[in-house]
Amino acid sequence: MNTFLSESQEALKDTYLAFAKEHVLPVANQLEDHTLSLKDFVQKLGQQGYLGIVVPKEYGGAGGNFIDLVLFVEAVSQFDAGLGLTLASHYGVVELINKFGSDVQKSRYLPLLARGECVGALAINEQQAGTDFMAVATTTTGGALRGEKTWVVNGSIAGLFAVLARTESGVEIRLVDSAADKSIKVGADKSKLGLRSAVTNDVSFDKHQLGKDSLIAEGKTDAALQLVMNVAKVIAGAASVGVVESALSHSAEHARTREQFGQKISQFQGIQWKLADMSAEAAAARLLTYRAAWSKDDKPEEFVRDAAMSKLFASKVARLHSAEAVQILGALGILSDSPTERAYRDSKVLEIAEGTSEAQKLSLVKELGI
C-alpha cells in the first residue's frame, strides 16, 4: 500500500477541513449543549453530499471510497468528535446496505440516506449484550419485532434502524423504518461524559410488524455484522485522529505564544519533548487509520485486524494527547468552553464507543491464532 494519499485525496482532505472550519467550528459548542438541533445540522450535511460519500452515484451518492469517508470524519472531528460517532452509526447502515442489500433495499434507502432525508442507526446493543452482541434477546417471532436496544447512536434522529434480533435458528438483521410508528419508542437522549453532540438512546420495539423486505444479509448475518462493526471501528478511529490533531494543534499554538520566565514556553525542553512525542504518535495513528480504511476494499482479509488496531491505538493516543494538551495549556485547558477540555472528555468515550479497547485486544490476539 502507498501510505500517502493521492493528489486528489489530499485536495479532498483540504476541502473537508475548510468545510469543517467554516461550518462545524462555529457551532461546535451549540451542538455540544444541544442548543442547535443535531437533526437539522445532519440534514444539512446530507444536502451538501456528506452523508452519501460512499453511496454509489447511481443511488445519488458521491461514489467515493472508504478512505474519502475517513478523511471527512477526521476533519469534522477536529472540532466536534461527537459528529464522528454520529457518522459511524449512519455509515454503518449505509455500508450494510451497500454490501448486503437487495436491489429493492438499495433503491429504497440509499438515496434517502445519501440526502440526509433518512439518518441511519445501528440498533445492536442490549443491556446484557454489549461486546457479547450474540447474546441479544430481541426477537422476530411471528414476523413481529420485540425487544429493547440500548446505546443506539442516532436513536432520536434516525429514520432507519438496522436491528440485530434473535430467531429460532440464530440471529438476523432487519431494516426498520422508524417513521410514525407507535410500536417503536425512543427514549430520552442520554447524558454522557463526552461526544455529547451525538444522541444516544434506548429504543424499544413492541410487536413491530416487519415488512416483507426488511430482512437483509439473509444467511450472511455473521459477515454483515463483522462488516458494520469494523466500519464503525475505523470511523471511530478517524474521529480519534481528529481529536489527536486538535490536541496537537492547540498545544503547539499555546506553546508558541505563552510566555513564562521571560520566554515562550516552547523554549522549555520539557514542552518540546511533549510536542515531539505527540507529533510522532499523531502521524502513527493517522497512518494506521488510513491503512485500515484502505484494507476494507483492497485487502479485506486484513480488515478485521486493521480496524481493531486503528480503534485501539488511535483512541489511546487521543486520550493521552488530550491529557497532555490540558497540562500544557494549564488553567486555560480546564475551562468548560475549551476545546482541550472537550477533547479530554471525548477521548475517553472513544475508548469505549464502537467497541472497547479490551475488545480490540481480544480481536488482535485472535488474529494471532491465540
- 200 inside domain: yes
Collapsing DSSP to helix, strand or coil, 170 comes out as: coil
108 & 15 share domain:
yes
Count, residues in the chain: 370
206 & 342 share domain:
no
Collapsing DSSP to helix, strand or coil, 316 comes out as: helix
Share of the chain residues as helix, strand and coil, in percent rounded to the nearest 5: 60, 15, 30
Q: Count how many domains the chain has.
A: 3
User: Domain containing 201 — which CATH number?
Assistant: 2.40.110.10
177 & 249 share domain:
no
211 phi/psi in degrees, rounded to 5: -70, 160
Within 10 angstroms of residue 241's Cβ, the number of other Cβ atoms is: 33
Nearest C-alpha neighbor of 139 from the set 101, 174, 103, 114: 174
Last residue of a domain, one of 156, 187, 216: 216
142 & 246 share domain:
no
What is the b/e burial string over 273-309, where b = at least 16 CB atoms within 10 angstroms of the residue's CB?
ebbeebeebbeebbebbbbbbbbbeeeeebbbbbbbb
Output the CA angle 253-259-261, nearest 5 degrees: 150
pTM: 0.95
241 & 355 share domain:
yes
pLDDT value at residue 132: 82
Output the CA angle 343-347-351, nearest 5 degrees: 175
Segment 224-262, tens digit of pLDDT: 999 999 999 999 999 999 999 999 999 999 999 987 898
- 195 inside domain: yes
pLDDT value at residue 57: 98
What are the angstrom distances between the C-alpha of 288 and each of 1, 3, 130, 131?
12, 9, 26, 23
Terminal C-alpha separation, the chain: 27
Q: Are strands 160-166 and 120-123 parallel, antiparallel or unpaired?
A: parallel
Last residue of a domain, one of 159, 189, 216: 216
143 & 208 share domain:
yes
pLDDT value at residue 299: 95
The C-alpha atoms of residue 310 and residue 295 are separated, in whole angstroms, by: 12
159 & 102 share domain:
no
Name every residue whose Cβ is closer than 8 Å to that of residue 104 and which is 6 or more positions away in sequence. 213
The C-alpha atoms of residue 130 and residue 18 are separated, in whole angstroms, by: 37
- 246 inside domain: yes
Within 10 angstroms of residue 331's Cβ, the number of other Cβ atoms is: 8
C-alpha grid cell, residue 25: 467550528
The C-alpha atoms of residue 258 and residue 290 are separated, in whole angstroms, by: 34
Domain containing 170 equals 120-216
Nearest C-alpha neighbor of 199 from the set 54, 40, 15: 40
Chunked into runs of 10 residues, the chain (370 residues) has average pLDDT values of 78 97 97 97 97 98 97 98 98 98 98 97 92 88 95 97 94 89 93 98 96 94 96 98 97 90 88 96 98 96 97 98 97 92 98 96 93
26 & 95 share domain:
yes
Segment 253-280, tens digit of pLDDT: 999 998 789 888 888 999 999 999 999 9
329 & 230 share domain:
yes
Last residue of a domain, one of 55, 84, 115: 115
pLDDT value at residue 131: 78
